[in-house]
């Protein structure tokens, strides 16, 4: 039996696997490249969903992890002092932009958001949360409740009372076609309307991704979260920024996604890239909120010595090598190249830094074209390039390479993408 058949026989049927019957088993990696069991080497523009943030086989990170394992202590318990964890918390508090910040470590983004929601609900004594349509915040009970995406939010039996704000989608829906100023006004009107008419009583928090990741890299204009926060502050409602995909310089211009919005969140959640593959997530937030949990809270593995060693090495690498600056420089090559394409199936190219979405539509309309998206996705793979797919309508190609991507690699990937889009666009005109 092939590995794919064995996977299908033993894993639950709802687990997504890319490339269908031609699924890839990645067996090794180096830099921005991975090699599959099929013997082919691919340039990786998705980094395992923006998780391999520095790249594969990076000596500084592997050495830090090996050194920790070499002590013989992969883990004992967070009930004992863990030097790696304290050092990482100090660094994260320092770069968070939150004065008097406290840090709590988890093993994943879902757990980080689950914790942030718990902290906010406790300090506000309310289980009412505002979330944004087309969001993704995780796969636990509470985080699914604030995930505004039917494909991923499989339960309506929510422990939270959730009210929804419109997503700042410029192509379709309530905000379609609006320029930045009008969109900001419409978003604030939407928030005021929800607060006035739908929610009963006090709301604990708004949870928002500065750029919606799984939702297809949809983002509003600069200042959107700031415009929201002005209204939220009138009632003491907290702001949780889910930076699981957007943190650590990914967006180029800023270290955190929230910084494009002239706002400081009360809580920031992080995961994915900070471990460069090791399980590490957490919440950094204002001490007043973080300290408000009225019981002992604990995570067996959250911030364990091996993950924390990886986290320290990753954060040092990001800062020492100015990966934020690299994301800005190399990202602008990709954004510029993609925006200059003359293809009627491309409805929008959007994003910041090394987080870029290409939305595909039927020519001359804003109607989503998931079939064309799939052809571009498959053609990229045939051309030796791994990219992501996503969006509410399955019509967005997502690009989120390791932040160490070189200019040459960016141009190579851009050329594969250009060929894939051009060939698919030609078919759209024939049919």
Site of interaction with ligand PMP (CB under 6 A): 49, 108-110, 113, 136-138, 209, 213-214, 242, 244-245, 271, 281
- As a whole number of angstroms, the distance between CA 147 and CA 244 comes to 14
Shortest distance, CB of residue 376 to ligand PMP, whole angstroms? 21
Structural tokens at position 276: 């460069």
| Residue labelled with tokens 């687990």 | 15
Output 217 or 317, the one with its CB closest to ligand PMP. 217
The residue behind tokens 């290409």 is 358
- Judged by CB, which is closer to ligand PMP: 50, or 416? 50
User: CA 413 to CA 384: how far, in whole Å?
Assistant: 9
Calpha distance 248→331 (Å, rounded): 15
Residue 163 or 245 with smaller CB distance to ligand PMP: 245
Give me the least distance between CB of 375 and ligand PMP, in Å please: 24
Adjacency order of strands within the sheet including 161-165: 101-106, 281-286, 267-270, 238-242, 205-208, 128-132, 161-165
Do 231 and 188 meet the contact criterion of CB atoms below 8 Å apart?
yes
Q: Which helix (H) or strand (E) holds 86?
A: helix 83-95
DSSP state, residue 157:
-
What is the nearest approach in angstroms of ligand PMP to the Cβ of residue 390? 10
Q: Which is nearer to ligand PMP, 267 or 421 (CB)?
A: 267
Which residue, among 348, 334, 347, 310, has the nearest Cα to 414 in the 3D structure? 334
| 211/194 Cα distance (integer angstroms) | 21
Question: Nearer Cβ to ligand PMP, position 239 or 372?
Answer: 239
Report the relative pairing of strands 281-286 and 346-352 from DSSP bridges.
Answer: unpaired
Q: What is the 3-state secondary structure (H, E, C) of 191-223?
A: HHHHHHHCCCCCCCEEEECCCECCCCCECCCCC
Q: Which of 272, 262, 199 has the alpha carbon at shortest distance from 235?
A: 199
Q: Shortest gap between Cβ of 15 and ligand PMP (angstroms)?
A: 13
Residue nearer to ligand PMP on the CB measure, 50 or 195: 50
Q: Shortest distance, CB of residue 152 to ligand PMP, whole angstroms? A: 9
Shortest Å, Cβ 244 to ligand PMP = 4
The closest alpha carbon to 211, from 280, 259, 164, 171, belongs to: 259
């Amino acid at each position: 039996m092939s590995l794919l058949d064995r996977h299908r026989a033993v894993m639950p049927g709802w687990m997504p696997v890319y490339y269908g019957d031609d699924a890839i088993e990645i067996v090794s990696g180096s830099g921005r490249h991975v090699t599959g069991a099929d013997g082919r080497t691919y340039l990786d523009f998705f980094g395992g969903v923006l998780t391999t943030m520095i790249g594969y086989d990076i000596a500084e990170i592997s050495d830090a992890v090996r050194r920790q394992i070499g002590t013989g202590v992969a883990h004992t318990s967070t009930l004992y002092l863990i030097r790696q964890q304290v050092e990482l918390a100090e660094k994260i508090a320092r770069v968070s932009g939150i004065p008097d910040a406290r840090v709590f470590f988890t093993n994943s983004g879902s757990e980080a958001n689950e914790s942030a929601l718990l902290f906010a609900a406790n300090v506000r004594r309310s289980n009412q949360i505002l979330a944004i349509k087309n969001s993704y915040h995780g796969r636990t009970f509470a985080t699914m409740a604030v995930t505004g995406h039917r494909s991923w939010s499989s339960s309506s039996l929510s422990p939270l009372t959730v009210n929804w704000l419109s997503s700042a989608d410029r192509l379709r829906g309530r905000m379609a076609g609006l320029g930045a100023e009008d969109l900001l006004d419409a978003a604030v009107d939407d928030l005021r309307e929800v607060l006035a008419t739908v929610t009963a009583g006090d709301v604990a928090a708004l949870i928002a991704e500065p750029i919606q990741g799984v939702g297809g890299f949809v983002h509003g204009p600069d200042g959107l979260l700031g415009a929201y926060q002005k209204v939220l502050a009138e009632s003491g409602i907290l702001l949780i920024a889910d930076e699981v995909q957007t943190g650590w310089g990914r967006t180029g211009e800023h270290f955190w996604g929230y910084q494009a919005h002239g706002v400081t969140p009360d809580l920031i959640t992080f995961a994915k890239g900070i471990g460069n593959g090791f399980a590490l997530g957490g919440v950094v937030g204002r001490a007043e909120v973080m300290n408000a949990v009225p019981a002992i809270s604990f995570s067996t593995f959250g911030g364990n010595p091996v993950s924390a060693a990886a986290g320290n090495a990753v954060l040092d690498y990001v800062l020492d090598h100015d990966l934020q600056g690299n994301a800005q420089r190399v990202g602008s090559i990709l954004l510029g190249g993609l925006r200059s394409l003359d293809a009627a199936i491309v409805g929008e190219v959007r994003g910041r830094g090394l987080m870029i979405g290409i939305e595909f539509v039927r020519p001359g309309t804003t109607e989503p074209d998931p079939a064309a998206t799939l052809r571009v996705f498959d053609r990229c793979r045939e051309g030796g390039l791994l990219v992501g797919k996503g969006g509410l309508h399955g019509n967005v190609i997502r690009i989120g390479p390791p932040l160490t991507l070189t200019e040459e690699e960016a141009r190579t990937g851009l050329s594969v993408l250009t060929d894939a889009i051009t060939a698919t666009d030609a078919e759209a005109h024939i049919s």
